[in-house]
Each structure stands twice: as C-alpha cells, then as structure tokens.
C-alpha cells in the first residue's frame, strides 16, 4: 500500500467551500490528492494542524523580470509617471537582475504560491523558470503605440516567445502566449498582428488602471497625451473612439479562450455589462496593493461581485508592491471590503486563478488526482484574516 499523508486542521478549504474540523485531507507521498474523509474513517497517523488548509495560491499577475526594482520606484506617483519611470529605470546589470528574480521566486514559494501568470518583455526569467519550481503561464507582452514600430516589436516578441517555448517539457508546468500590454500602448496595427495567436490561449491586458485611460479613448486628452509628449511620440495617427477604453479594445480579444483583465480600478458598471455580453470566460484580476502603491485607489470589487464576475488575484511586480504574497493582497482586500467572506477570497486565489490560467486540471482545488499544493493559513480570528495572519507551505 502506498504511504499516505493525512492532514487535519481547524477548517479545510476545498477550492470552493470551507469544511469543518472533522474532515481529513489525504494525499499520496507526492502530494497528489486522494480524498477527503471524516476523521473516524481516516485511520491513524493524522497530522493535526491549527488553521485553515487550502490549495496552493495562484498569482494571476506578476512581473518577475522587474524584481530588481524593489523599493526603487516612488509610491503614489500616479500611473503615467510610474510607467515613465519603469521605462527609463529598468536597466541594471544582468547579474543583479537574475539574482533578484531568484530571490523573488523563492519569496513566492515561501508565501504558498504554486502558479504564476507572469508578464515577460524579455528572456531574463527563462533560466529561473527552467528549474520548474513553480508553474508559469508566460504572457509575452507586446507594446508599440506607434504603427511604424508594429512589425519590429512583433518579431522581437516572437523571438522571446520561442525562448520560453524551448523550456517546456512533459511536466506541462510552462504555458506561453502573446498578450498586449495595455490599450494605451498597442496600436491597431500591432493588435492585427497578435490576434491570430489568441485562439486556445489565455490573453491578459492591463485595463483601466487610471481614469486617464478612458479620457484618451473618449476625447484624446489627459495624462497619456502628456506621456506621449514626454516620449516624443507623434499621436496624429490616433483617432479617439468616443467609447471607454475597455469597450474600444475588448472585441479584439474575442478569439482568446480566456481573458484576464488586470487592475480594472476605473471600470464602470456599463463596462462590466458590456464585457459580460461579449464573453463568459473573463477574469477580473485584483492587484489591490499595487493600486494603493501607484494610484492610491481601490478597484470596484463589489461591482464585479454584483454582476457575478469571476475574480482572481495578482501581486503585480516588486516595482509597485512591497511583497509577492497573495495573502498580503487578501489582507488588504479584507481591510477595505470586510463584508467579503473568507471562503470567497480563497476561491479567487485558488480555483478561480487556476481556471483563468488553464491549469485547473491539476491546480486550484482538492479534487482526486490533482496536485495543487497544500498550504496552512494560521492566526485567523472569527473567520477573518488579520494583520498577523500567516501562510505556511506544507506540500
């Protein structure tokens, strides 16, 4: 008989619901889920734990390649100045960048994260990801606001994509795809080049992270026009659509199997209803600590809940956050939205995230045959996360 591992805690979160203390989680020696049993049926050698057992966390939005910028970008600059600083300050000695990438990945592992949707503008994370410590969906990011650079940027991104394809293996812990950076940084010409690559894939985009994004598309005014001037970009080619940013570009993502919209800090109810009419496979990714870091703003989480939106959670980068911790994100959400039940937050961070990254065949829930990782949340008070709540990795 195979040796089994048995875990019993104060509560057990399955990926969709919280079960009581009488339940025992049983895995094989490699962490593959066997079953969940009542204590009286589970036999001996049960490991007793204080806290909530949960599948490993899914980080749906990260920029691992920016980890060397930790603490280097000032807080509360607003998005346009933040982007301008990233563009101008991201270049450091490669050894320093690679070291920061390794440290940041280890931080995610320690914080109970098992899979990451990671934005990639270059190949600097390839060597670390080849070690297969975490599962990754690598979103090869395309930017190019000027139509004249579209072909060059597209070809460069295809070369980056190919580098990530070369580290895929039979363990299927690596997925790769092309994704647009943001509505304000991708021309129609570049959209046309990348949309043929969306079919079957998850596609992600930074969406409505600042109110100026809508101002650009409705009126061709606002802070992005200032950014283009700072970057010496001619914007004569751009004609405003008269619609919100999201309603202007979202139909171009229709061929993707799933879409992850990131930030959504200034998304309106009209936008949410528009998206719901267009697609049933959209995930709204909350990166609340980054919103606080850059814009001092909160995403309209209850708006997405009101319209049955699938919510997922991301950390964004260490250029715009103090840590790479899904638990830290959930703490901030709890502080600002105390009415949201813990089980719902945990589902966003596990099952929903795995579905968004098309990894729910093996991650995100305690179902037989999956290998989702097992983490323990401790120092929970009255069913709520507190500032002192902790996460520990068991498997």
Distance (Å) of CA 348 to CA 204, 329, 332, 356: 17, 11, 14, 10
Looking at residue 169, its pLDDT comes to 76
Do 246 and 185 share a structural domain?
yes
Domain count, the chain: 2
Q: Of 256, 261, 241, 249, which Cα lies nearest the Cα of 195?
A: 256
354 shares a domain with 256: yes
Q: Mapping DSSP to helix (H, G, I), strand (E, B) and coil, where does residue 178 land? A: strand
Q: Which residues contact 260 (CB under 8 A, 6 or more apart)?
A: 60, 61, 117, 202, 203, 204, 205, 282, 283, 285, 312, 356
pLDDT of residue 79: 86
The CATH number linked to 382 is 2.30.40.10
Sheet holding 57-62, edge to edge: 57-62, 113-120, 135-142, 174-180
Q: Which domain CATH number covers 299?
A: 3.20.20.140
Q: How far apart are CA 79 and CA 55, in angstroms?
A: 33
Q: Are residues 298 and 378 in the same domain?
A: no
Output the pLDDT for position 361.
97
In a shared domain, residues 280 and 137: yes
> Do 356 and 379 belong together in one domain?
no
Cβ-Cβ contacts under 8 Å for 41 (sequence gap 6 or more) = none
d(CA 121, CA 384): 38
Rounded CA separation 35/318 (Å): 37
Distance (Å, whole) CA 34 – CA 284: 31
Question: Does one domain contain both 259 and 274?
Answer: yes
pLDDT for 163: 98
Length of the chain, in residues: 395
CA 9 to chain centroid: 28
Q: Are residues 243 and 137 part of one domain?
A: yes
Q: Kindly state whether residues 19 and 63 are assigned to the same domain.
A: no
Residue 224, both tokens: 């992005």
Spell 343-356 as b/e; 16+ CB within 10 A means b: eebbbbbbbbbbbb
Strand, helix or coil for residue 214: helix
**Shared-domain flag, residues 148 and 17:** no
pLDDT of res. 94 = 95
Tell me which residue range forms the domain holding 39: 1-55+364-395
Chain centre to alpha carbon of residue 165? 20
Per the CB < 8 A criterion, the answer to whether 373 and 395 are in contact is: yes
Segment 13-68, tens digit of pLDDT = 999 999 999 999 999 999 999 999 999 999 999 999 999 999 999 999 999 999 99
Q: Do 43 and 156 lie in a common domain? A: no
E strand residue ranges, 71-161: 113-120, 135-142
Q: What is the pLDDT of residue 85?
A: 84
* Residue 37 shares a structural domain with residue 169: no
Which stretches of the chain score pLDDT less than 50?
1
Query: Alpha-carbon distance 184 to 111, whole Å?
Result: 33
The residues pairing with 47 across neighbouring beta strands, listed in sequence order, are 7
Query: What is the predicted pLDDT for the residue at 83?
Result: 82
Cα separation, 227 vs 213, whole angstroms: 12
How is residue 313 written in tokens?
């959670």
State residue 388's pLDDT score: 98
Give dist(CA 197, CA 176) in Å, integer.
11
| Rounded to 5°, angle at Cα 209 from 61 and 316 | 25
User: Does residue 122 sit in the same domain as residue 205?
Assistant: yes
């Amino acid at each position: 008989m195979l040796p089994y591992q048995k875990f019993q805690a104060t509560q057990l979160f399955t990926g969709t619901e919280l079960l009581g203390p009488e339940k025992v989680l049983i895995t094989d020696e490699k962490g593959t889920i066997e079953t969940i049993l009542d204590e009286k049926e589970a036999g001996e050698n049960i490991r007793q734990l204080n806290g909530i057992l949960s599948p490993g966390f899914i980080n749906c939005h990260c920029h691992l390649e920016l980890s060397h910028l930790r603490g280097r970008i000032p807080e509360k600059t607003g998005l346009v100045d933040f982007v301008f600083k990233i563009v101008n300050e991201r270049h450091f000695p490669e050894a320093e960048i690679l070291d920061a990438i390794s440290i940041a990945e280890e931080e995610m592992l320690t914080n109970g994260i098992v899979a990451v949707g990671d934005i990639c503008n270059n190949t600097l994370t390839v060597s670390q990801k080849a070690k297969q410590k975490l599962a990754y969906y690598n979103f090869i990011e395309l930017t190019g606001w000027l139509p004249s650079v579209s072909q060059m940027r597209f070809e460069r991104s295809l070369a980056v994509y190919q580098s990530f394809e070369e580290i895929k293996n039979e363990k299927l812990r690596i997925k790769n795809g092309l994704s647009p950076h943001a509505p304000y940084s991708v021309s129609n010409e570049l959209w046309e080049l990348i949309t043929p690559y969306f079919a079957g894939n998850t596609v992600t985009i930074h969406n409505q992270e600042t109110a100026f994004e809508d101002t650009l598309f409705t009126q061709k005014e606002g802070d992005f026009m200032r950014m283009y001037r700072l970057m010496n970009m001619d914007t004569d080619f751009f004609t405003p659509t008269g619609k919100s940013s999201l309603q202007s570009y979202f139909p171009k993502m229709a061929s993707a199997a799933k879409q992850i919209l990131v930030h959504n800090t200034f998304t309106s109810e009209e936008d949410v209803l528009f998206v719901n009419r267009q697609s049933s496979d959209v995930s709204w990714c909350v990166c609340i600590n980054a919103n606080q870091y850059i814009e001092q703003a909160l995403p309209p989480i209850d708006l997405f809940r009101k319209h049955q939106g699938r919510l997922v959670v991301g950390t964004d980068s260490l250029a715009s956050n103090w840590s790479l911790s899904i638990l830290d994100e959930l703490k901030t959400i709890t502080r600002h939205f105390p009415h949201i039940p813990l089980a719902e937050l945990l589902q966003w961070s596990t099952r929903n995230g795995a579905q968004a990254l098309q990894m729910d065949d093996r991650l995100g829930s305690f179902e037989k045959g999956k290998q989702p990782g097992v983490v323990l949340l401790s120092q929970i008070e009255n069913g709520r996360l507190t500032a002192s709540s902790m996460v520990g990795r068991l498997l």
